[in-house]
Structures are given as C-alpha cells and as structure tokens.
A and B are shown apart, each in its own frame.
Chain A
Amino acid sequence: MSPAPIFSAFRQALGEAWAGGAGALLPLGFFAGAAVLVPLGIGTDPATLRAVGPGILWVALALSSLVTLERIFQADTEDGALDLWLQTGAPASAIAGAKTFAHWLAAGLPLALISPLLALMFQAEASADLLRNAALYGLGGLAFYFWGGVGAALSATVRRGGLLISLIALPLYVPTAIFGALAMTDAPGSDSAPLFLAASTLFALAVAPFAMAAALRLAAD
C-alpha cells in the first residue's frame, strides 16, 4: 500500500480549509470573541480573572473546535469525494485521520497560538508559562478535533448535523478538559496533569480514526 492517497487527502483538506477563507478564521474569531466577552460579564477584578482565565479558555477552545467540524466529512459525502477516498486502497482510518489533522492545523493550531494574547486579557502575568500553556492548548485541541471528527463522521449524512456533533463529541472532551485545566493550576496533581493530558490526546489519536472510518463506511453504504 502506498501512502500517497493519505498525503493527498491531507493536502485536499488543508486546501479546502484555507479556500473558504473565513472557514479557518471563523473558530479563531469565535475563540477570541468568547474570551473577550467573559471579563465584561464577570467584572474586571484581576484576581478573579486570573483564577478563571485558563478554565474559560479551555471551554472556549472546546466550543470553537466545534464551529467548523460540521463540514469536514459532510462536504465529502455531498460532493462524492468520499466515494473516491474510500476506493483508493489506503485505509479509511488513515484518510480520516489525515483530514482531521489537516483541519486541526488550519483551524485548531491558530487557537493555541493566540491563547497567550487572550491569557493576558485575563490578567495572566507575561511569563514563559504562557507559552507552556499555549502548547497545552494545542495538545488538548488536537484531542478535541479528533473526537469532534468522530461526531462529524457519524453525522456526515445528517443535514444541519452541527448540534449532533456537539452531543456526540462534548462527553468525549471531558478527560482533556479536566487534565488540561488541572495542568494550569497549583492544585495537587497539577505536576503530572500535562502527562495525563498528553495520554488522553494520544488515546484520541489512536482510537478516533478507526471510529471515523467505520462511520464513513456507513455513510457511503
């Protein structure tokens, strides 16, 4: 088996995400918008903001990841590309994984990159910790996109399946949200939390592609 179809799927998904223009920027705007609204809602007390900031960003990240996921497999079933990808001879799980990873690169990674800026708005001190946290948001976001991809594949043939994706994916986001938020506090266990976060992301990377492949085969059937 040649890996060429997998690279092609990755390239097409990346091109698709950028071609929409606003497509990849939409989650970024949503993420920033949600973060900006919170201080207006809960007041400007620096101590409060500093305490809730990282957690708010995790929630905003989880919701932002759902903004564009609806299209990644739905468009493929509508325009017939899914039929072509399923007939390349490459494993459907690898194709689905490549597409989801491309989607995370285009829409999810920018969220992590902008997170230090948003953290500053929550009165976080400008330190190397902000970059460490950005890496954690990136890592957790990867898990969000892969679990969300499972929801997207399951609802690929459902019109207006966005809400369905949320219902399927949000429970799967729980471990990532718990370990991710814990890793940014001084609570007991916070030292090892990044490792647990990494483990939960690896679990998503290992399991989600197979779930997506099964769902996509069902969508084509």
Chain B
Amino acid sequence: MLTGVASPLLSASGLGMIRGERVLFTGIGLSVEAGQSVVLRGSNGAGKTTLLRILAGLTRPEAGEITRNGAHHWFAHREGLKPHETPRTHLALWAKAWGSSVNVDDVLARMSLKRPADVPARYLSAGQRRRTALGRLLLEDRPIWLLDEPYTALDSEGRALVLELIDHHLSNGGGIIAAIHGESGFVPANEVVL
C-alpha cells in the first residue's frame, strides 16, 4: 500500500446539519487516511447516524464539503435483509450486484454463518442478521468503511470477529469511520464528539 499522506481517503470540513428547527451539529470536520480510524462519539440523538449518512452521500448536509477518494462500505442499524432472503442468497445477490468474485461460502464460514446459511432472515436472530450484513464488507475490497454501531446485537465472539475485521482492514491500508457507544475495542486515530 502506498502512503496515503498526500490525499486522505475521506475528508470533510465545516459539516452542518439542521433537523426540523434544531441545529444538529455545525463545523464538523474530519479526515481519514489509509490505515486510520475515526470514532464518532455522542449521546443518543446527537447526530452520529446522520453524520455517517452524510459521509456516505445518502443525506445532503446543510453546510460543508466532503471529499472521498475511493469506494466505501455501508453498515448500519438496518441490515438491508429481506425477510425471505437467507444469508447465502443475500450475500450472493450483493456479490453479483457489485461484480465481486469472492466465494460466498468463504464469507459465510468467516462470519460463522455456515449453520444458518439457508435459513430465511425472518427466522434468524438479531446477531445472525448482523453477521450476514457484516459479511458484505468482505465481498469487495473497498478502502472506506462506514460503520454505525457495529457491535449491536453481537455476542462476545461476534464482537471479537468485528474487531478482527477492523484490524485487518486497517492494517491493509483501509480507513474506518465508526459510530460506537462505549468501548471501541481499538485505538482510533481520532475521535469526533458531537
């Protein structure tokens, strides 16, 4: 991996957002370089999810600018799983949509989803649904990961797994922006408090 000092993977400056008649945040700036992570902190309703949506390009900010140098993965509260989809069909669908050649079986094994691989999502536990959605991160190599509360609903083994994925991604020169309550489990290069 070449050094990313010259151009950060993602940088934002002067971000401001209004929801209803309330100023959610103003003057937020952050920058993620290769191998770096940024953790977003703030109480419930402070605007962590909104900020992540802005960084992903889903929500338009009232003020500020964002520069992205590379594709990103999006992992949020709502997993994007259809009730009829199984972990296998879901991952296969997105592998196809993204033109990925990664073996879905390998991803299922990595996420410990071998056993429920063919169970429709409506019968899966919350943790299994989260693992399925996390599996999407492995389908395609993308430099930027945007993670909203990645540990929610996961058991200790699942937490360790997420931490492993994060470590691996960072050491491969990826960048991570994550909204996390409580222990992040890793040492972020930066914290943004909302």
Contacts and interface: CB of A to CB of B under 8 A. Distances in A.
Interface of A: 2, 4-5, 7-9, 11-12, 15-16, 19-20, 75, 78-81, 83-84, 86-88, 220-221
Interface in B68-89: 72, 74, 76-85, 89
Nearest to A21: B84
Interface in B51-65: 53, 56-60
Contacts of B81: 79, 81
B2 interface: no
B57 A88 contact: no
A88 B98 contact: yes
A70 B72 CA distance: 31
A18 to B, nearest CB: 8
B1 interface: no
A84 B94 contact: yes
- Contact-residue size bin, chain B (C-beta under 8 Å from the other chain): 20 to 34
A211 B15 CA distance: 29
B94 A19 contact: no
B96 interface: yes
B93 interface: yes
B56 A87 contact: yes
Nearest to B95: A8
Contacts, number: 67
12 contacts: A4-B96, A8-B93, A8-B94, A11-B93, A19-B84, A79-B80, A80-B79, A83-B74, A87-B56, A87-B74, A88-B97, A221-B60
Contacts of A79: 78-82
B148 to A, nearest CB: 10
Interface string B27-67: 00000000000000000000000000100111110000000
B20 interface: no
B94 to A, nearest CB: 7
B78 A87 contact: no
A78 B82 CA distance: 10
Nearest to B120: A19
Contacts of B85: 12, 15
Given A84-B74, A221-B58, A16 B99 contact: no
Contact of B76 (A20, A80, A221): A80
Contacts of B83: 19
B152 to A, nearest CB: 13
Given A12-B82, A87-B74, A221-B60, 11 more contacts: A2-B99, A4-B97, A7-B97, A8-B94, A8-B96, A8-B97, A15-B85, A79-B82, A80-B78, A86-B58, A88-B98
A83 B76 contact: yes
B97 to A, nearest CB: 4
Q: Which 9 A-B pairs have the closest CB atoms?
A: A80-B78, A19-B84, A8-B97, A80-B80, A81-B80, A5-B97, A84-B80, A220-B58, A221-B59
A7 B96 CA distance: 9
Contacts of B74: 83-84, 87
A81 B98 CA distance: 14
Residue from B72, B84, B89 having most chain A Cβ neighbours under 10 A: B84
